Structure 1
């Protein structure tokens, strides 16, 4: 019985008690049974009304469970979600954990472990690990300035791409955890909270799209850097050809 029915009963009992107190002593002296009268009133007129109200409420509840929120279909949906999770979640988790590392040397293994860790905490040692694997930038006396500039920019772009991949893996892990949580809640959710779960899923989808766009932007930067690098090589060849022509002219003009 819900709170509203209990409240109505309490009010009726208070009214009955007030009526009992209002009975004059002469009525009591004549043998008038107050408690029998109260009990008769509660079990008779009041009890019948309460029974009718309870019947109406039960009928409304049954209509809601049959038409608006069919319990059988809701349980069927919950069972379907549980079946789907059981059939693919473990398999997908195994796929995400497949080892893809292949470096053989110690320095390269350390770098590979850092950018496959999926944690931004490993980015603090990225410069040292990268230098240990690919070498340091030549000094100014060891290589021409143009070559040093292109090597420096290529190293910077490579480090940026590695850092972006680590951040993307970390974001993917977070999204997978959020997706699993949404699935778990879907398996037990009530009809009234389905829209809230749908909104949460939409928000997660937007976050995933934002991460994809960041990766696409990183790919575009890498492609632009590749074009700039190849164009830089052409410029260097032109400079070298001009230098060769100048040297030849000086040689021919020499007495």
Structure 2
């Protein structure tokens, strides 16, 4: 079993590190908080939902930076959250928040506790041994905003027992949609940015592009595919010139994928 983001995708998050007790207790001491950069794949996270549109489905992850830790033996980052910890989050944070923010008419269709959710996943029959897929709870934009506020309140009122879920943030991820954003699009769009906004029109791009709400990361890929109707065309890269072009474009990181077309 793997976490949703199980390998390094060259995406980083700056995590704020609180002051130490020694710094905080010094009279007139330091007041700044340090930050440390972590790969997104190193932060424990789990999938809590999906956002579907006409053209694709995006995965919604919730990340818990306070749980960042390493394995005591091999020193590797542990990002797959234990089942017991996830049970606490579902039972004491997420499910109660959804119940608090929805209309009373929703009550017969919601799972108020994790035990109830498991019972309904088995079809309500204790004699059945199999588990069915969890039922989807559709939430509107406004409902989900209210759920986030309730989650924060439940964590703050947990008397420290739920503090490990504090400072949480969300990650919206979708892979395999590069063909929707190809430059040109047969003349329908002026460029890949317009194609991205038009083909994924269900997302609030004005909100996402405002950096005060969070970071919007767009993975840009550049490919050259020469077309020759008569004879095959073989291209050979000059890697020094290619690396220089990355630098001229302002890219800090770039991966070059070499596809050998020779037999």
> Which has the larger share of strand?
2
TM-score, length basis structure 2: 0.20
> Which has the larger share of helix?
1
Higher relative contact order (CA 8 A, sep 6+): 1
TM-score, length basis structure 1: 0.21
